[in-house]
Amino acid sequence: MKARLFAVFTSVLIALGTGVQAWAHHSFAAEYDLKHPITVHGVIAQVRLENPHSWFVVDVKDPATGKVDRWSFEAGTPSGMIRNGYRPGVIKAGDEVTIKGFQSKDSDVRGMLRELVTADGHVYGLFGPQENR
């Protein structure tokens, strides 16, 4: 399934430029529920900048119960992210972030990254920095 997403991630953005409509690709919908947007706030546990897709792993604490869920958010290709201005290490374990995305269809703690905002307000999208866009 993840192999499929490699091609799909690429083609979605190719087909639709950088628009929000990108999330609506039919094959993408096979993996993520595009009718189920999610927002989590937590602390980065791991950043996996690797082929074919990058992942942001974040620990999300329920303020009511104190329970911590470890979420994984799938992002774009490392080459695309880097070429768009992402620098390895700019987001690292321990960083506080807010992530918006779409819920996986087969996991309650996995999603597709749509937007990542750092504590100091820097915004990253599926393929890297979104400032000055």
Partner 1 sequence: MKSLMMTAAIAGLLLWSAAVPLRLAAQAPSAGTAAPKPAPRMADGHPDLSGVWWRGSDIGGRGFAPGGGAPGGGRPAQPPPFFSSFYQPSAIAHAKTLSDKDDPTVHCTPTAFGTLNVSLFDVGAVGQIVQTPKFVVMLTETYHGFQIIPFDGRPHRDNVPPSNRGDAVGRWDGDTFVVDKNNFTDTTWISAEGRVSYHSDALHIVERYRRLDANTLEIEATLEDPKVLTKPWVVPKQTLQLAPFDQIMELSCSSSDTQSQKDAAPPQNSEKN
Interacting residues toward partner 1 by CB under 8 A:
1-8, 10-19, 21-22, 24-30, 34, 48, 50-53, 55, 57, 67, 69-70, 72, 74, 76-80, 82-84, 104, 106-110, 125-128, 132-133
**Of residues 95 and 124, the one with the C-beta less far from partner 1:** 124
Residue 94 zone, left/alpha/beta (φ > 0; ψ -120 to 50; rest): left
Sign of CA dihedral 74, 130, 93, 58: negative
Minimum Å gap between C-beta 94 and partner 1 is 19
Comparing CA positions, the residue from 44, 58, 65 lying closest to residue 110 is: 58
**Of residues 39 and 107, the one with the C-beta less far from partner 1:** 107
Q: Per DSSP, which regions of the chain are E strands?
A: 32-48, 55-61, 68-74, 96-104, 110-118, 123-125, 128-129
Centroid of chain to Cα 41: 13
Bridge partners (DSSP) of residue 46 are: 57
**Of residues 30 and 119, the one with the C-beta less far from partner 1:** 30
**Of residues 38 and 78, the one with the C-beta less far from partner 1:** 78
